Structure 1
Amino acid sequence: MRFVETVQKHGYRFVADVKRIEPLAEGVFRANEDSILSATYLSRARDSADLAERRVFDRLSPPATAEDGHPEMSVTATEAVPPEEPTSAARSTLILKLAAISVILLASVGLGLYLYSEYFSNAVRTGGKRSFAVLPVRPLNAANRDDVYDYEIGIAEAVIHQLNSLKGFTVRPISSTRQYSDIAQDPIAAGREQKVDYVLASNYQIADGRIRVTSQLLNVATGETDLTYKGEKPVADLFAMQDAIAVEIGSLLKERFSTTRNRPTAKRGTDNEEAYRLYLHGAALADKQHHTEVFKAIECFEKAIQLDPNYALAYARLANAQSTVVGNRSGAAGEQYPKAKAAIEKALAIDDTLAEAHSYLAEIKSDFERDFAGAEREHKRALELDPNSPIAHRMYSLFLTYLGRHDESLSEIKTAIDLEPASVLNQLLLGRSLLFARRYDEAVTHLERAAEMDPEFLYPHQSLVIAYRMKGDNDKAFESFLRSRIIAGEEQSELHGWRSTYALSGWDGIFERQLEKAKVQERNGKPNYNLLANLSSELGRREEAFAYLEKALVQHGGLTYLKVHPRFDSLRSDPRFDDLVKRAGFE
């Protein structure tokens, strides 16, 4: 059989019969819709391998000459021209070159398989669900942004409710995506930060009493636009407009991903537009977890309730904000918790299917009533109602920490982080869970991360003081202490006083000074018995510490960490401590 023939003045020509072997169709790889990427990645790996092979053989082939503009083909062997026996050096060179080809081919195929496996393993980690972030709907004209809650947040939350009702969808809550309202926000960057598969980025324009909305579903991995929505609605009826746009976008995604609805769409809970605006504003303020913002949030929720006395969500968030006031030590537990209890009972009387309302009731039962069995029932009910609620998982994690069930607590807070990865509160609680589990190095890592996520958030710094102290790094602990005082707004003269005290007396001096200030507050009718007990314990004043713990027990506040807080370790050998733990309801 002949493979080549001689062509005068040109060289040789390949004359054997050639048959084209078609590659497998892409569809061969597509066992189902979720495996589309496997075909794509393998196809790209195959293309990369072909390209690499061509480039290597180009380098191996001797240079060609040309006559009349036609390249001259050169081959190394034919039947008519026997090849010369290669030298040992040539054989070695050929072997090395073939080895290089093999390495490149294997690397290309390996890369494709790695990319596929990364996609597949991520799907397994998320239970095969697709994750989405719905960004605030941004105006094309940034000059007028007075209607933030009507359009930017209102439409986004309506869309979130729609997508949350679809099977196989995990959607970031508005508390996570609210921050991406800047006109210049890169949606892909937001998607990476939120660790989602897709981002829905939208803009709107209002003219002649109508709103025109354009939305793009962006694939975060590729940066490509998966689908586009365009809709136009009258703005006269705000809720009807929000719902109509949300339903159309939801239907578009439902069809795109061939899914179905597996639960009812969540409702906003009120027909009063102004009450809804106040609720959204209050939620934005409360989510900041800052002292002054919480009081503003309470005002918003109370005004919303005045406008709609049957607004269950507003009652639930009001209860949580009032509980936060106690957590911030900005009000007496005896005053705030009864208000919170009344608000949460009202919320559940209106709608007992609100998952977060059950979580807030659980908080009241554990923190104020010391009914830990009842609290756990409420936490489990919240998770039963909404397994994808980061609030429910986060608050259950906190409760489990109180009880010293650290492995369970860490599992719950990690689930909350999976659902809401950019939440500073989740990072804080992960750090605190590790702190109370005595895993101090890991605690520092996550608490520092929380501090980086929100440099003005007080609580990560306060927790870092304890974590560094337990590690024995007193200087780093003092740095965190100073940062917390700066965030709290202390004057320079006070900061200078703390520095001088630490330089002269170390942490004992700091504790003495804190204790004296806390006693002044007590004399002024604003006692914080938990803090007083903490400081007395740190200074080794056992009798004083137990006296303050007894008062804290009567006050119904601040003893939730009694069983696990390392600051009480010096008291645990005393039989009175075990008795106190029992009377606090832990056993």
Structure 2
Amino acid sequence: MKRCPECCRDYYDDSLLYCLDDGSALLEGPASADESPTAILSGPDSTKNEISGLTTGTGTLLSKSSRPKRYLLVSFLLLVAIGLGGFFAYRYFAPTKQIESIAVMPFVNESGNPDFEYLSDGITESLINSLSQIPGISVKARSSVFTYKGRTVSTQQVAQDLGVQAVLNGRILQRGDQVLMNVEMVDASTGNQIWGDQYTRQSADLLKLQSEIASDVSKKLKARLTGAESQKVARNYTENTEAYHLYLRGRYYWNRRTADDIKKSVDYFQQAIDKDPTYALAYAGLAEAYILMSSYGAASPKESFPKARVAASKAIEMDPSLAEAHNALASVLGSYDWKFAEAEAEWRNTLALNPNYASGRQWYAEHLLFMGRYSEGLEEMKRAQDVDPLSLIINGLVGVAYRMNGQNDQALEQLTKTLELDPNFSRTHLFLAETYQTMGQYEKAMDEFGRAFILEGVPAEKITPALAFVKERYRTEGPKGYSRAMAEIFEPDQGPNEPPKTVVASYWGAAGEFDKAFALLEKGFEEHDDDMLMIKDPRMGALKSDPRYKDLLRRMGLPE
């Protein structure tokens, strides 16, 4: 049994550490050292006086000779009453465990206006980021919870899928200048409401509302926060409501992950900065947007990465505690500057600031794989998966990490599971193709490449003859014919959809055409192409015996 030293509430669950009413640390046994070991079983002093005194105006009702038996009877009844009361209090009012994991589900936009979708999505993401600041609480990442957006799913199903103890639901309605928000926290195992509240504020007070909700939820999670931690949870990064709305729009388009949408996100982040030049979080968002531009063909690395560096550095200068800004700077240092030790230090800093930051864990895991530290990269990618269990890209990259670590069977198993999450995610088919290729199952590899290209929007009339050409070369010339055909198909492609030079070089290398392979790699080195970091991928194996390979590693600063 435990007791709160402040309110004297008794608890019969030994797993509880803090009082569920006032957050005080619970004591074993009596509330103070002055009480006897049995004192915790007794009620307030007034109750003890009534039982032991039982007086009338003229004297005690009990004779001295009858008191011992009477005391025994009263004590027995008291123990029974306390036992029953404790049982019912434990059974119906006390949670079995303190909450250590939560999923913030996508808030529902009840305005009926799709233009306000950015607001409901943005509030959800802001709460996820705020609650991630609470030590000891696992908060599932945005990409996992947003797989449920627009779907009707039970709380218990969410608990099973994400492995959480509680779910936070919300509905938002905007009427003119008024914002109405209903929020509830639900026990994921039973579906019972733990807490709920309704908030009505003016649109101009939206910033304060988000902070208020984050603070209320942290209290209901019974988190023991220091003053500094409480400030981080309830923090507003700007006092300018218009800048905040522009930032939310930027994040909305950044999460859509197309070249056009990323360009839009850059525009909105910049507008937010124009409204509030001290808005560090908007600078961090701008940096992350510039980093994605080269990956999605919206700009070249030479155009985007220097801009990302400026924005990330500005954000860190204003607020060194922003994990997003350190993550962006780490990516610039690693992918563009090739300053790998400095990049790793920044990623470690990122994860120290926010261990629940799934993108930070993912990008750091990719860095470890690029360094040839395959087992470390696999373990870090699994940690990212723990934070974001339904992320398609992270689940797919776990499969890639298995392949790079020489565990092809596990890679196939993982990628098959990822297809079950969404069979139309093109990257999963691409990763499967690479795995089949590594295993020497070339025709299966070609089938998966074909599915990936169709999902990417490549016309079927272009894909079908290409697949037939490669399969025929494989059947007549074997693996070398397959690799040569792949190199011949990919090499002429230029522009936004140009394949990584390292990939094409690996095909030339497998075909025995080392000069063509190193000509491509030299071009990538001169352009400081971020895809050059894939040079340590095991599929480059045919080229690793050539002295030019080690020379490239040396010039890039990569370990052998």
1:193-232 pair list within 5 angstroms: 193-205=161-173, 210-232=178-200
In 2, Cα distance between equivalents of 1:154 and 1:500:
46
Q: What letter corresponds to residue 562 of structure 1 in structure 2?
A: I
Q: Normalising by structure 2, report the TM-score.
A: 0.74
Equivalent of 2:366, from 380, 393, 398?
398
CA contact (8 A) 2:351 2:360 kept: yes
Equivalent of 2:241, from 248, 254, 273?
273
Q: Which residue of 1 aligns with 2:285?
A: 317
Q: Which residue of 2 aligns with 1:168?
A: 136
Q: What letter corresponds to residue 107 of structure 2 in structure 1?
A: V
With over 3 angstroms needed to count, the CA separation of the structure-2 counterparts of 1:505 and 1:365, relative to structure 1, is same
DSSP-derived class of the 2:518 partner = helix
1:33 has 2:16 as partner:
yes
Q: Which residue of 2 aligns with 1:259?
A: 224
Q: Which residue of 2 aligns with 1:67?
A: none
Write the deviation string for residues 278-327 of structure 1: whole angstroms up to 9, x where unpaired. Answer: 33333343334444443343333333333333332232233233222333
Name the stretch that deviates more: 517-526 or 235-244: 517-526
Write the deviation string for residues 87-106 of structure 1: whole angstroms up to 9, x where unpaired. Answer: xxxxxxxxxxxxxxxxxxxx
Q: Which residue of 1 aligns with 2:535?
A: 562
1:579 has 2:548 as partner:
no
Q: Which residue of 2 aligns with 1:71?
A: none
Q: What letter corresponds to residue 501 of structure 1 in structure 2?
A: F
1:146 has 2:115 as partner:
yes
Equivalent of 2:356, from 366, 388, 402?
388
1:287 has 2:255 as partner:
yes
Deviation at 1:134, TM superposition (A): 1.4
Q: Which residue of 1 aligns with 2:345?
A: 377
Equivalent of 2:513, from 541, 555, 559?
541
Structure having the higher Rg: 1
Deviation at 1:569, TM superposition (A): 0.3
Query: How many matched pairs?
Result: 467
With over 3 angstroms needed to count, the CA separation of the structure-2 counterparts of 1:279 and 1:335, relative to structure 1, is same
State the identity as a percent.
Answer: 28
1:343 has 2:316 as partner:
no
Q: What letter corresponds to residue 143 of structure 1 in structure 2?
A: G
Name the stretch that deviates more: 358-367 or 449-458: 449-458
Write the deviation string for residues 419-438 of structure 1: whole angstroms up to 9, x where unpaired. Answer: 22122222122122112112
Q: What letter corresponds to residue 420 of structure 1 in structure 2?
A: D
Deviation at 1:208, TM superposition (A): 7.9
In 2, Cα distance between equivalents of 1:572 and 1:535:
13
Q: Normalising by structure 1, report the TM-score.
A: 0.71
Write the deviation string for residues 201-254 of structure 1: whole angstroms up to 9, x where unpaired. Answer: 122445685444332221112222223323333444322333334433443x14
In 1, Cα distance between equivalents of 2:434 and 2:449:
9
Deviation at 1:159, TM superposition (A): 3.7
Write the deviation string for residues 488-546 of structure 1: whole angstroms up to 9, x where unpaired. Answer: 21112112212321342237666545534554346999795334423312322111111
In 2, Cα distance between equivalents of 1:327 and 1:500:
29
Q: Which residue of 2 aligns with 1:489?
A: 457
DSSP-derived class of the 2:197 partner = strand
Equivalent of 2:107, from 115, 131, 137?
137
DSSP-derived class of the 1:486 partner = helix
In 2, Cα distance between equivalents of 1:309 and 1:536:
50
Q: What letter corresponds to residue 550 of structure 2 in structure 1?
A: D
Deviation at 1:172, TM superposition (A): 2.2
Q: What letter corresponds to residue 31 of structure 1 in structure 2?
A: D
With over 3 angstroms needed to count, the CA separation of the structure-2 counterparts of 1:404 and 1:162, relative to structure 1, is closer
1:470-489 pair list within 5 angstroms: 470-489=438-457
CA contact (8 A) 1:234 1:241 kept: no
Deviation at 1:357, TM superposition (A): 1.5
Equivalent of 2:302, from 334, 337, 340?
334
CA contact (8 A) 2:101 2:164 kept: yes
Q: Which residue of 2 aligns with 1:439?
A: 407
1:424 has 2:392 as partner:
yes
CA RMSD for the aligned pairs?
A: 3.3
DSSP-derived class of the 1:199 partner = strand
In 2, Cα distance between equivalents of 1:330 and 1:353:
29
In 2, Cα distance between equivalents of 1:294 and 1:446:
29
